[in-house]
Amino acid sequence: MKSKVVLFGAGIFIGLALVLGGWGIYKVGYQFHGSVINPPVRAADFSLIDQNGTSYRLSDQRGKTVLLFFGYTHCPDECPGTLAQFKQIKQQIGGKAKDVEFVMITVDPTRDTREQLHNYVPGFDPAFIGLTGSPADLEQVWKSYGVYVSPAPADSQGNYEVGHNTRIYLIDKQGDWRITYPYGMESSQIAEDLDHLLN
């Protein structure tokens, strides 16, 4: 009889522990990677031109999650690195990628014409989007997203690099800015966040 009481008491204890443990997990919830914007803020709207000459307005993308960064086609390292990372992320989220847009906004409008973007961005993935526009329109977008743009002096062949932010911005399907990621963040971690949001 005593052993039955002990077993019954142990069962209650274990059950209570499981309930409380589950409640604790529920309470904590999913932990995003990167720098979380809490509470989320509405992403500044903009209208630019993609590599196909089509107008692209951010507010028209509601219902899709947008992963974007600021870069340029003559960039020697971070920009092709980020586009290659976008390709990895797209592969990792599989079929859910249909609900994500991968976007690069140029910081070098002088060289990044629509034609130049058309020859460059789809080389990483045909579905990726490259955006350009007038210097005035782009400057407003850079300002809205806190992006600094600092072209270096051109060399004797007219080549130059452009200093700029290298962070990735995640905008959810409601049009809210949710997370930013530093350059070098693991692709799997960004893919995990996307997978959670897309669910």
pLDDT tens-place string over residues 45-97? 999 999 999 999 999 999 999 999 999 999 999 999 999 999 999 999 999 99
Would you kindly state where each structural domain of the chain is located, as residue ranges? Answer: 1-30, 35-198
Q: Token digits for 122?
A: 């789809």
| CA 146 to each of CA 44, 87, 115: distance values in angstroms, whole numbers, following the listed order | 11, 25, 27
Residue with tokens 């290659």: 84
Q: Is the link from the previous residue into 76 a cis peptide, with omega within 30 of 0?
A: no
DSSP notation for 9-76: HHHHHHHHHHHHHHHHHHHH-----SEEEEEEEEPPP-EEEETTS-EEEGGGGTTSEEEEEEE-TT-S
Q: Report the CATH architecture of 35-198.
A: 3-Layer(aba) Sandwich (3.40)
The pTM (predicted TM-score) of the whole model is 0.84
> In 3D, which of 70, 36, 60 has the Cα closest to residue 189?
36
pLDDT digits (tens, 9 = 90+) for 139-167: 999 999 999 999 999 999 889 999 999 99
Instruction: Note whether 150 and 164 are within 8 A (CB).
Output: yes
Mean pLDDT across the stretch 19-38? 65
Q: Token digits for 65?
A: 């999650």
Specify the higher pLDDT residue, 19 or 35: 35
Task: Give the other-Cβ count within 10 Å of 156's Cβ.
Answer: 5
Q: Token digits for 73?
A: 């086609």
Q: Token digits for 198?
A: 């897309």
Considering only the C-alpha atoms of the chain, give the largest distance between any 2 of them, rounded to a whole number of Å. Answer: 94
Confidence of residue 13 (pLDDT cuts 50, 70, 90): very low
Q: Token digits for 133?
A: 């526009």
Look at residue 199 in the predicted model and tell me its pLDDT: 86
Confidence of residue 25 (pLDDT cuts 50, 70, 90): very low
Whether 109 shows a pLDDT value over 60: the answer reads yes
CA angle centred on 128, ends 117 and 50, rounded to 5°: 45
